[in-house]
Amino acid sequence: MARAFPAFCLLACACQVVAGYDEFHAATASQAPAHACDALPVAKDDPGGFSVMTRVDVPEGACVWMDRTEVTVEQYQRWQSEVPADAVAWEPTWCAWKEARTDPIGDPADACSSEFWRYDLQPFASRKPMRCIDFCEAEAFCRFASKRLCYDTAGLGVQGPHGFPQEWQLACSNGLTTRYPFGNPAEDVCNVGQTSEECIGASATCGPLPVGQKAMCVNERGTVDLTGNVAEWVFSCNFPENDAPDKPSGCLVRGGGYDAPLQTCDKERTVPNDTRTPSLGFRCCADLTADEELLVKPIRP
C-alpha cells in the first residue's frame, strides 16, 4: 500500500521551504550521516520565479537544485514570448545542427503534436508538462531560466560532458538507496502504462497529467513525476562525430513517460537529440549560488 505523505504546495509563490518526509525510510534516517548541504533548506523558489526547486545531495559534500516538477507549458511559453525564435543561442557542441525553434503549441502542422492520441485532451494546458521538445530546446530553455539541464551519466557509450555527478539518478533513487522515487517495492502511484487502445474515451486518463497530480509519485524531498508522466532529457550525450559535427548525436533520456511501464531509476535510453515525441519533456537543475556555497563550505581562518 502506498504511504500517506504530507501534501506539498504546487506553486512556487506559495512554497518557500518544503519539509522532509518523517516516515520515509524511518528505520535508517537516524543513522544517515550529516551532509554539508544540511545547512541549506530542502527546497526553495528559483530566482526567476519559474518553479520550486528541491535539493539534491551529491557525493563529496556537494549539492545542486532540481525543479520539483517537469517544466510546464506555462513556463515554456514565457521563453517563447520573451525570446524570438530566430534569436535563440543554441548550445555550440551538441546543437550545431539546430537552426530554428519548433512550435508544437502554435503550429497546426507540427509533426510531433499531430501524433497526440485522440482523447489526449487539452494537451497544452498550462500546468501540463511541456513536450514535443528536442534536447537543444530543453537545454536553451533551462539557460534562459538561469538554470541548466540536469546532468547524469550512462552505463554504456562515450558520454559527455565529463566530470559531473549523476544528479538525475541521485534524485530519483533518493541517493541510490531506492529503486523508485517513492521507495521500494514497485507501486501503482505514477502515471505510467497507458496504451492508445485503452485511451478510447474522454473519461480515460490519456496522456500526461498536470504536474504533481500523482501526489504519491514523489521522492523523499518532494520532487514529483521522476517516473512517468513524461520522460525527461538529461545532459549526457554522445560526442558528435568528428566528420559530422553538425549532425544530431545521441543524448540520454530518463524516467519513462505515460506510455511506458513503470521504470526503475537506473533505466536509461539514448535517443538522437533531435527527437521530439508526445511523451518526452524535461526539467531543469541549478548550481548553488555563491552565498549558498559559503554556507556549505564556510571560509575557515
User: Is there a contact between 128 and 113 (Cβ–Cβ < 8 Å)?
Assistant: no
Q: Where are the alpha helices (DSSP H) in 47-173?
A: 73-82, 135-144, 167-172
301 pLDDT tier (thresholds 50, 70, 90):
low
Domains of the chain: 71-282 (3.90.1580)
Is residue 134 classed exposed, middle or buried when 0-12, 13-18 and 19+ CB atoms within 10 A define those classes? buried
Tens digit of pLDDT for each residue in 149-199?
A: 999 987 665 577 877 889 999 999 999 999 999 999 999 999 999 999 888
The grid cell for 53 is 526547486
Model confidence at 277: pLDDT above 90: yes
Tens digit of pLDDT for each residue in 195-218?
A: 998 888 666 689 999 999 999 999
| DSSP-derived 3-state class of residue 87 | helix
Query: What's the pLDDT score for residue 204?
Result: 63
Amino acid found at 198: E
pTM over 0.75: yes
DSSP symbol at 289: P
Beta bridge partners of 44: 53
H or E segment and range at residue 83: none
Tens digit of pLDDT for each residue in 87-140?
A: 999 999 999 999 999 999 999 999 999 999 999 999 999 999 999 999 999 999
Place of cell 564556510: 298
